Amino acid sequence: MMKFYYAPHTCSLASHIALEEAGADYEAIRVDFKTSQQRTPDYLAMNPKGRVPVLVTARGVITETPAILAYVAATHPASGLAPLDDSFAFAEVQAFNSYMCSTVHPGHSHGIRGSRWADDPAALESMKAKVQQNMTDFYEVIESRMFRGPWVMGENYSIADAYLFTVSGWLKQDKVDIAQFPRVADHFARMKERPAVARALAVAHGTA
């Protein structure tokens, strides 16, 4: 059985959803950020980055959301979570997930974890002030150029949908009204109706 380390209100939700969608055999283990559990020696020995998500497999530890999503899809091909038999289509999925990881997620993090990039109070406030506009700009690209519909990559649901749903859940905190992106808003509402999403959310929020 795999072990999956997560924390509420983080990007780990995307991997959690994928594990549920795939019907994977795993144990979910909550990491308490309030007590800095992610900085303890035991946790850092497993993941020296001190972050989530972490997936412990029979072959070793996997970190980073795009990698975990791809691994879940590849090891559970019957779930159809990625176009594994089409190299170009799979690269397109990875391109979307990489955009979420390398561009959109940091844009959000500048508002709540600016200390990763700067110490000067003025710089921190400047980063916070840019979050709303940056996230709006990123989502305009997703809405108009990247989202194919009805799912991210088109007709077939994929690991990209779990990632988009997770990050879209942060827009309200970033003072961005999701309603200005009708296709993304519709996607977000439909994702909430999926049983696997409901199960992952229940565990993440401690209501399961």
Confidence of residue 206 (pLDDT cuts 50, 70, 90): confident
What is the reported pLDDT for 11? 98
Q: Do residue 68 and residue 92 come from a single domain? A: no
Share of the chain above pLDDT 70, in %: 100
Q: Do residue 49 and residue 132 come from a single domain? A: no
What is the reported pLDDT for 208? 66
Q: Do residue 69 and residue 16 come from a single domain? A: yes
What is the reported pLDDT for 114? 85
Whether the upstream peptide bond of residue 182 has omega within 30° of 0, thus cis, is: no
d(CA 62, CA 197): 22
Q: Do residue 53 and residue 32 come from a single domain? A: yes
What is the reported pLDDT for 207? 78
Q: Is residue 68 within 8 Å of 47, Cβ to Cβ? A: no
Query: Is 70 exceeded by the pLDDT of residue 48?
Result: yes
Q: Do residue 55 and residue 105 come from a single domain? A: no
**CATH number for the domain that contains residue 51:** 3.40.30.10
Q: Which single residue is written with the structure tokens 């999926």?
A: 194
Query: Is 80 exceeded by the pLDDT of residue 189?
Result: yes
Taking residues 62-75, what's their average pLDDT?
A: 98
Q: Do residue 102 and residue 66 come from a single domain? A: no
d(CA 4, CA 14): 12
Q: Do residue 163 and residue 103 come from a single domain? A: yes
Query: Is 70 exceeded by the pLDDT of residue 160?
Result: yes
Q: Do residue 17 and residue 36 come from a single domain? A: yes
Cα 16-69-5 angle, rounded to 5 deg? 40
What is the sign of the dihedral through the CA atoms of 188, 194, 199 and 202? positive
Average pLDDT, the chain: 97
Q: Do residue 190 and residue 97 come from a single domain? A: yes
Share of the chain above pLDDT 90, in %: 94
Whole-model pTM: value is 0.96
**CATH number for the domain that contains residue 161:** 1.20.1050.10
SS3 61: strand
Residue 75: give the domain boundaries.
2-80+197-204
Query: Is 70 exceeded by the pLDDT of residue 142?
Result: yes
Q: Do residue 6 and residue 91 come from a single domain? A: no
Q: Do residue 65 and residue 102 come from a single domain? A: no
Q: What is the DSSP string of 3-37?
A: EEEE-TTSTHHHHHHHHHHHT--EEEEE--GGGTG
Going by C-alpha positions, the residue among 124, 102, 126 that lies closest to residue 113 is 124
Residue 33 CA: distances (Å) to CA of 36, 52, 142, 173: 5, 10, 30, 19
Number of domains in the chain: 2
Phi, psi of 90 (to 5 degrees): -65, -40
What is the reported pLDDT for 38? 96
Q: Do residue 94 and residue 75 come from a single domain? A: no
Q: Enter the DSSP assignment of 60.
A: E
